[in-house]
A and B are shown apart, each in its own frame.
Chain A
């Protein structure tokens, strides 16, 4: 590492940071765009139809419809990029960026593998290194900023469907943020800090001799709340009110076309990636390998990837399992069911800790 860093004229710390940024940015972008394909193909599988299969690589290889990904990307670039006269121009141009950037940087704090030492130096596999005092507060804060992207896109469109969709999405996201915060508070209490690394080490070991010591088994109620909130925060079905096709056309991105729409759509998938990573880190032991406390670094990365991709698949799975809620049902669930549950979870766990439970 030192010699490589020296040869390109940068310090070792800087090279390592740049490498990590490259890995995280590339993986989140790659997984997000791959998931547009998995979503279409998976939906087809669940609905007993074929799905995208017409795009061929070099006019020959079908590859399970994977070339569709490339075809879609090209098509987005070459579609007419019109700016309707009734929109607010400046905000209309900024909105896709405002949605895309927070979606991508939320991943920075999540460790995607075990920290390792090499030639006397310790390397951490997360962009935001542990011990910064920020920890899990960072993705929560970035997740809250994501509301602006949708709201600005909606407002700048100056279209009834768009503004309704944006209003719904923002009200929904802020409602579920409270229950999510309370659910994560119970985790912070048990861990004694915000750091994701500490959260993962806290989950090492074995519970009742048969289960890995994950928080899903120790706080199932909190997991339930957090899991449901993640669906609401990412605007995925069954809480797909920002773009309820049957009611408000395409919601907040009704007036967007070409690459502007592509960025908005990609942002949703990037949010899914971050949400899955959060679920895996907080409740499923992150990169830790069950029953293998001294797993090699590459195996931990592999396990993190498996957990991440599994939860991303759950997002697609749930989409075709549950029908869309009504908006009043969403508010009922958020304020009258999940919020009391998360309060009970927090106080119950605090009480359990005074009794000496772990």
Chain B
């Protein structure tokens, strides 16, 4: 078991699992969506095929309009903070052996905190405004 040469060898099992999951999902989808419909009732009606709204006939088909900008703001904030975490991951794994990095990391964390407080003060985390 230990004689692993390539660094990718341990991921072979994951690759097999991935393939198995994809194949099972594909078989199920094709079986239910392509093969079985030849045998099961197929009765399309205008009401059935219209987009579901609330029971009343839809005024227009298609829903890709503009949505609240808050969703995009949240996504941007996520990118900022997640990158900070990605920077801290290697530090965290090595911290046990290098306890002297505590103070340097505090300065890094302080810059993160300044951004956090600024975003808070600007009201970026207020959903109801």
Contact = CB atoms under 8 A, between A and B. Distances in A.
Contact of B75 (A16, A174, A185, A351): A174
B13 A260 contact: no
B28 A177 contact: no
A263 B36 contact: no
Most A CB within 10 A of own CB, among B26, B29, B94, B99: B29
A93 interface: yes
A24 B50 CA distance: 40
A86 B31 contact: no
Nearest to A85: B49
B122 interface: no
Given A171-B74, A185-B85, A255 B13 contact: no
Interface in B80-122: 81-82, 85, 88-89, 92-97, 99, 102, 105-106, 109, 113, 116, 120
Given A18-B16, A260-B33, A82 B49 contact: yes
Interface stretch (A44-52, A187-195, A219-227, A310-318): A187-195
Interface of A: 13, 16-18, 20-21, 24-25, 76-86, 93, 96-97, 100-101, 104-105, 108, 121-124, 127-129, 131-134, 137-138, 155, 157-164, 167-168, 170-171, 174-175, 177-178, 181-182, 185-186, 188-194, 249, 254-255, 258-260, 262-263, 327-328, 331-332, 335-336, 339, 343, 347, 350-351, 353-354
Given A13-B1, A127-B17, A97 B25 contact: yes
A161 B58 CA distance: 13
Given A189-B96, A190-B96, A328-B127, A259 B17 contact: no
B33 A354 contact: no
B64 A175 contact: no
Given A104-B17, A128-B14, A132-B11, A181 B40 contact: no
23 contacts: A77-B32, A84-B49, A84-B50, A85-B49, A86-B51, A105-B21, A122-B2, A127-B14, A127-B17, A128-B11, A128-B13, A138-B14, A159-B63, A175-B74, A181-B85, A185-B88, A188-B93, A189-B95, A191-B96, A259-B28, A332-B127, A335-B77, A353-B99
Given A128-B13, A132-B11, A328-B128, A101 B85 contact: no
A336 B77 CA distance: 13
